[in-house]
Structure formats: structure tokens, C-alpha cells
Amino acid sequence: MRILASDGMEKNAVAALTAAGHEVVEQFYEPAELAEQVKNFDVLVVRSATKVRKPIIDAACETGKLKLIIRGGVGIDNIDHEYAESKGIKVRNTPRASSDSVAELALAHMLSVSRFINIAGHTMREGKWEKKAYKGIEIAGKTLGIIGYGRIGQALGRRAQALGMKVVAYDIFKIPELENENMRYAEMDELFEVSDFISLHTPSIDGRPLINAETIAKMKNGVVIINTSRGNNVDEQALLDALNSGKVFGAGLDVFAEEPAKNVELYSHPRVSCTPHIGASTSEAQKRIGAEIVDIITKF
């Protein structure tokens, strides 16, 4: 098969696929060019940069060659997957591969915000020693609200409990066996009311932000908000207003409404810990993603 990896692929995965007799082309194309190129491939593998919308799917159907689209990661909202499936093109993802790496980044942002690691380190590099300016908070004994308690949410929940936190989780699917004295499910409004930290691990729903002025008003004063899911899950202006008013103590953001991020006022805010969408960017996660992609293609 001819395989187009439009956002690149882990080298061991490329080697394994090549050894199996497949041709792997690693090349990013802008949408108009991708619509032409995709006609010549059996498999399209994407990460988050490439968006596979209806015009690209329609173009692929002109030759009928494309049979499989793989998202190297968890969410598939950058693919019009239902439309692709209706055209006879299978869509798969790698949900298990990056769960631990994203959960660890969410936890890292929690600690960074709580202890001003991001801004304090920055000011030191400017030659400042602002010891008295950064009075932080502890995470032990606090309540972490996790919205979306799937693989990533559960991975974060386990880590948070190990560090002495209580976890309340919201998910449309509940697994009673996960509940214990330090973890329970809750409805969304209760989660907003009782949580000291809130971390998002859910796909975007019709582009509507889960965190907006209305939901922030329901939260505790001094809450910390973490988003490593999708940028449009957060109303960035509402978050910025809440940071400036003190309603929100701080925020950890790996994803933004527009990427590369253009909201300078938000990502440069002294109470924001930010990273450029690197949730799955660990060597271990990339190897697991690559191995899972090889497995999907082989079985297909």
C-alpha cells in the first residue's frame, strides 16, 4: 500500500511498514494540494496539524483508492469521520498510546501554576530574584475535577490520588468500579462547585466552549483550570477576564482556539503556564503511536 503520513511518523514505524513492503511518504500538504495528492494513496495518517474535511474526502473518492484514515492520537475531531465512513473510508485512531504522556503534562501544568514555576523561572532569566512575589498553593488535600474520565482522565486521576488529592469526575459513561474513597463521579454543576482544580479531557462538542463566563461563575474563587484537550473547549476571553479579576487563580494551557496561538495576552499572562500543543510529544508516546499505527495497517 501507499501510505501518506502528512504530519510525519515515528522512524521505527516507517521502517516496519517499509519492511512489510509498503511505501511511506512523509510530506505535509496544504488543504488544496492534499486534496490532489490523497487520490494517489491507500492510507492517510495524520496527527493534529492536518484537517481531513469533506472536500478532501470527496477528492479521494474520485479515484476510490483511499481506504483508511488513521489519526495518530486520541481525538478524531480533525477528521470528518462520519462522512468518511459513509463514503466507505475507514477511520481509526490510537487511543491508548498517548494517555500517560498527556496526563503527565496536565499534572505538570497543575504544579507549574500552583507554584509559579513558569513565570518565576522566566523572571530569573531576566536577572530578577522575586522570592516574595510567588506565594503558591499546594495540591495535596485539594479536589480535582476531571471532565472526561476516559483513558487520559483516569490516568490523571490515578496520579492525582497518589499525590493526596480527591477526584470528582464527569463523564457520560460511568465505570462504578473506579470509584473509591478518593474518587467519585459527579454531575457537571457539582463538579464546578466543589473543585479546586479542573482539568479538561473531552473532545470539543460542536465548537461550544465548556469553560465560559457562565460556567466560571459557578466555580470556586481561586480555581485552577487546565486544558490539554481541545482549544475551543475554553472561551479564551472569558478565561482571561477571570484571570484578571482573580476569580481564576491560574491556568495551564497546552491547546488554543487558534494554533499556532495568536492570543498573546492570554499565553503571556503571568498566571498562565503554557505549552505549544505538546501533550503527546514524548519519545515513549511516539513509539507507542507508531507501533499502534503499524498494527492498525497490518490488520487492515
Cβ proximity of 197 and 226 under 8 Å: yes
Q: What are the catalytic residues?
A: 230, 259, 277
| Type of residue found at 26 | E
| Type of residue found at 2 | R
| Residues forming beta bridges with residue 146, ordered by sequence position | 169, 199
| Type of residue found at 73 | G
Cβ proximity of 66 and 38 under 8 Å: yes
- CA dihedral defined by 77, 80, 83, 85, rounded to 10 degrees? -70
| Preceding amide of 260 cis, omega within 30 | yes
Cβ proximity of 111 and 139 under 8 Å: yes
- Of 14, 51, 56, give the one whose Cα is nearest residue 39: 56
Interstrand relation of 183-185 and 143-147 (parallel, antiparallel or unpaired): unpaired
Alpha-carbon span 94 to 96, nearest angstrom: 6
Residue 286: Cβ-neighbour burial (10 angstroms; 0-12, 13-18, 19+):
buried
